Structure 1
């Protein structure tokens, strides 16, 4: 024998055994009975110690036996032979047994075969079925077969199956049912004045977290559309003509009448028709010096407005006439007429309504107190009411900034002083 075996006395090895075969230490395995000696050499041969593969050598005979080897001629199945089987049965057979036991307590191999055939049929074609499709098939077979069997045949984790089953259940439900009710409630509560942005903001105030795009889609699906704000009239038509400098520069105060005037054009919708109002206001007291109302915002409207204003005063030298950059005020005829009367032209900056805030304020007041306060059946009816309102506005309507006086009263007191 090429190996040296240590002698064991009293349960302890007197000398360490030399290394054998696999590069691991070998130790004595215990003490023998009186008068007997047994030599043990542990040899793992590359396998793990958990598998219990060791070799035992007797005192005289060199033959070696692997622990767990077959005894009395009975063959032992190896790990590779038992992989995928249990007690000599394949996976399919064990699955069939479980299917039969779940249904009647007796194995029914043909039941598992039918389930395997149905699930396996999904893989026919160019590729394997998707997880969602496989989960749908498993859900359809659950009344006939146990879930564990179907998951094993489909090679699907239980968590993956329940995930896709929940998605299948949610497919037929309205995920935004609560949001739909809230959108409709908010829309009708505000009588259709809210668009999707304001509806979204109100929903967030009520605890919802819906995105504005979701709210817009829901409103579209339910046919909810807010009242469209009427398009404002814009007189700007590009760089035609010549622009004047902004002399007023938002200084709307004046020390005396006829020092600073302002003008603008606004659109008025009455009975399906459009009217255009063009007034001149005195910045000293807000008085309407002259005005023209027409069905078309043309140059003739501006001519008439200027004629009425210029006819009231013999001299207007040094007067500053302010306006926006509308095409009427950039027209060479308008500029020429101002120059002939010694009027200095001033213009707001482009696209800045606050530079002409005095005219915009008058339009807002007139529409709130006249146009929106009453219902007019025809444009002619509104024109008559406008004549009366402007007379009322100049002579009777008091203003806090005028010390509780009307524009005409305030001007009269100034002229008396």
Structure 2
């Protein structure tokens, strides 16, 4: 217990960035306050301009004692449940580690937590459903949603008022499983869906929507060498609970050393999932991959239009394995031909200029070999200027003299009649 209250503070920003709560104060407003420590807070829009807020509060007892609490604030930031610290959701002995709230499909929320059932860590997934007024609709003080020895990794709305729940269990080491529950806390599948039972550890599977009622799971995987060879794997499960990728998951990255320590996933809103991770080999960096999932033809039109930008693939680029494609991506109001591509080293020296006049015809595509002294570029479609909607440029990793550039980071600039687009490419040899 602290003599100074702990707070979760909130602010509401308009579309123009104006501060709407707290009289425009940079400190915003107090969402909840407690004389005990506050952890793991999460928020969910309530659809009426306000929000739901969940958090863990340290109860200060000798056995740990993290309790789950929740609050609701209206569009003005005024509390709707309880007073300054919301309402109690679960106060069982030992610890409850809550996830962010999910919609229940009827104006309320679902809350799930990792419940430490005993000091010996026979844990389970607990949960509660609260209606729009904060009334508990499941077992008072929370229900046991999944059996003992299921350790919560992530939760995600199933789009129908229920939830996908990702867990790991002790198997030969740690294994990933998946379950789906309704908003009445009823498991959809008689048995947990095995996601990965490969040797060594697979755990912490995060969830993202596939845009068609199913989910993508991404996790840290030790199957290829243990703690010093951590990789990233994924699995796709459709709305019917069918596993679509290879048994035990498909690799996202299996580069040497540790790749799976820090990663994040998000749906692209159009039937696929982006994974971003911190790479440790062969050099440090941040990498991304777009995972295949549902057929985009089965998904509604992308609601958020991406701004046009420079697209380089593959990136990092290993010249020994081919060429790098450079073009524009995103939605362009009018066709915007690329007049030329310029490539610079990190010191700002221009190493190569790719122009349509130097692009080979389709019949001779790929005839210029690296280091041959000829143009290090070919056309990916025609000899006309590349554009956001048509052809693209390719680069084989050589400078204007035909010499192979060394490994490193290079700046790329695409110039059109009205705009210039910039980016970077990493060359690996």
Q: TM-score, normalised by structure 2?
A: 0.20
Q: Pick the structure with more strand per residue.
A: 2
Instruction: Give TM-score scaled by structure 1 length.
Output: 0.20
Looking at CA atoms only, which structure, 1 or 2, has the larger radius of gyration? 1
Instruction: With a CA cutoff of 8 Å and minimum separation of 6, indicate the structure with the bigger relative contact order.
Output: 1
